Amino acid sequence: MQLRDKLKRTLLIGVFSIIIGGIVGTLDAVFGRVLLGITDIRDAHPYYFIPFLAFAGIVIVFLYDRYGGKSSQGMGLLFSVGHDKEDKIPLRLVPFVTIGTWLTHLFGGSAGREGVAVQIGGTISYEIGRKLPIKNASKTFLLIGMAAGFGGLFRTPIAATFFAIEVLTIGVVEYAVIFPAFLAAYVSSVVSGKLGLEKFVYSITYSASFGIEIVIKLILLGVAFGITGYVFAKGLQWGKKEIAKRLPNKYVRIATMGVLLSVMLLGLYMGRYAGLGTNLIHASFHGENIYCYDWFLKLLFTLLTLVAGFQGGEVTPLFSIGASLGVILSGLVGMPIEFVAALGYAAVFGSATNTMLAPIFIGGEVFGFANMPYFVIVCMVAFSINKNTSIYAGQKKYEGNQV
């Protein structure tokens, strides 16, 4: 390819990255703000909604079963496209995953939201890329859209960029896409912010020299958070297989699990473990009560919700699991509560998604870049011990030279 053609291709991709960022940021803002409104309604009236989680689940399964087609594969479809196993993502995936997630949260399911944003971004961007006169750019636009979706929802464009370029294949970072992915993620973040989607930030100031005692404590925290992320990812894989064997009928499965979840969610603090888990995140960083079992129950409820077939992501619950676990571990390592909660917030997410760069930058963008060295150590350890287990079943392992 001649230099002129390369420049033309780069410019065209850059321009459309900005356009995609604007579109996806707008959709993220709509999705995110409605979701937060739904959460407020459910929290205000838990007995009006949580008892009917099973009914919501049946509606979700019916819609996907009757009209969803390939969109029922969700994130798995994006990974299949990224690995050239599929060549089309139906646009209907966007409304299906959006409405399904809204229903899950309105009626109390413990789930996240990043999966929706990434699917929205990936689907829209991939469809635009297919229509452009740019050869062999489909994967490029898929990653651009995934970055835009993540960046617009969480408003962390640097972390979103690294998440998109490292999540498809373990051990492979798609650096060729890094700049257009950042452009899309940044524009998406700005647009969603202008449209009223707030970013969670909490400034942490902690200064300690890297003596052997501090390093050992950080390594131990990395091990604890890494094991937690591994347990979540392994539990999700195992749970989906086991529940499909025991309850092969999708309607019976989601109805049965929905009833069980409703009883448990209402019986344990009237919905404390329902929804995103932002209540636990807020409590972790604002001196509110965190029980020693909060992290475990949030992990359990999220696994039950997702293996049942309800819609949503995993990342925000992972943030809440890590933060609430960090509160408990802070007393054991003799470090400030908010500092250890922040490390857990990032590291459990990194371990469960089998990513390392994204959680490090999440730590910087949310809690302050001055803390980056601490996040590097903890996230590096958490990533190293998770045995290449991921919440994303479609994630591949690089089969190149092994060390």
pTM score, two decimals?
A: 0.96
- pLDDT tens sequence across 80-104: 999 999 989 999 999 999 999 999 9
Which pLDDT score, from 0 to 100, does residue 401 have?
Answer: 45
pLDDT at residue 400, as a whole number? 57
Q: What number is the average pLDDT over the span 162-185?
A: 95
Residue range(s) in the chain whose domain bears CATH number 1.10.3080.10: 3-194, 212-397
> Looking at 200-209, 268-277, 284-293, 322-331, which range is the least confident one?
200-209
Query: What are the tens digits of pLDDT across the range 184-239?
Result: 999 999 999 999 999 999 999 888 888 999 999 999 999 999 999 999 999 999 99
* pLDDT band (50, 70, 90) for residue 332: very high
Residue 12, pLDDT > 90, answer yes
Q: Range with the lowest mean pLDDT among 134-148, 217-231, 291-305, 387-401?
A: 387-401
Nearest to 232 by CA among 328, 347, 377: 347
- Given this model, what pLDDT does residue 134 score? 86
What was the pLDDT predicted at 83?
93
What is the average per-residue pLDDT within 345-357?
97
Q: Is the pLDDT of residue 399 over 70?
A: no
For 212-397, CATH number out of 3.30.2270.10, 3.40.50.360, 3.80.30.20, 1.10.3080.10 equals 1.10.3080.10
The architecture that CATH gives domain 3-194 is: Orthogonal Bundle (1.10)
